[in-house]
Amino acid sequence: MNYIQRKMFAVLASIVFALVYLPLHDYPFGLDAAICASFTVAVFANATRKRGKSLFAGEDHIPFLEMLLGHILCLVAVVGIVRLGIYAEPVLPAWLTTSIGRSPGGHPLPSALRGVQSLMLFLVGFVESWWLSSGKYKPESEGCKVVLSKSAYEEDIANRLRLK
């Protein structure tokens, strides 16, 4: 999957956003559904690009249920950040919600609230993408070693002290 560039992920996520938002724009959950769909495409496309098929199968893959629950948690965070910005804007002070200036073309720049929102959304996406693309998953049952007797403990220490 290394042949797909990051620019293509942005285009694909934008297309998915439009395909989901256009039929649902009359409903109150239309924006949330479109954001969730495009976020899912962006995160899983990036993780698949980095790990390939080992994301879903192989020795160090993340179990499906754990991946699903982690992704749902990130989607809830993304929707919460977006909705919090929408609903909190009328009650926040003006210095947070007014534009911080104008671009050379005359277009207004985003407000401080939108900048913080964007930073938080980027952070959620970065953390989930990093978690999915790290190939160091090891279940706890394989990582811990239980020693039941004193002789086994002494044998384990002796094995560690041997020079090879």
Q: How many domains does the chain have?
A: 1
Per-residue DSSP letter, 111: B
pLDDT higher than 80, residue 19: yes
Residue pLDDT, tens place only, 91-108:
888 888 887 777 777 777
Q: Which residue has the higher pLDDT, 164 or 95?
A: 95
Where are the alpha helices (H) located in 25-149, listed in sequence order? Answer: 30-51, 64-88, 94-97, 112-133, 140-143
What is the structure's pLDDT at 77?
Answer: 95
What is the structure's pLDDT at 76?
Answer: 96
How sure is the predictor about 147, in pLDDT bands with cuts at 50, 70 and 90? very low
Tell whether 1 is covered by a domain.
Answer: no
Residue span of the structural domain in which 28 resides: 6-138
What is the structure's pLDDT at 140?
Answer: 55
Tell whether 65 is covered by a domain.
Answer: yes
How sure is the predictor about 34, in pLDDT bands with cuts at 50, 70 and 90? very high
What is the structure's pLDDT at 71?
Answer: 92
Residue pLDDT, tens place only, 45-60:
888 888 777 777 777 7
The 10 Å Cβ neighbour count of residue 36 is: 21
pLDDT higher than 80, residue 30: yes
Residue pLDDT, tens place only, 67-79:
899 999 999 999 9
CA dist 160 → 144, 151, 155 (Å): 16, 14, 9
Tell whether 156 is covered by a domain.
Answer: no
To the nearest whole percent, how much of the chain has pLDDT over 90?
Answer: 30
Tell whether 132 is covered by a domain.
Answer: yes
- Residue 102 main-chain phi, psi, to 5 deg: -125, 145
Tell whether 128 is covered by a domain.
Answer: yes
Residues 22, 37 contacting (CB under 8 angstroms): no
Tell whether 162 is covered by a domain.
Answer: no
Tell whether 153 is covered by a domain.
Answer: no
Tell whether 151 is covered by a domain.
Answer: no
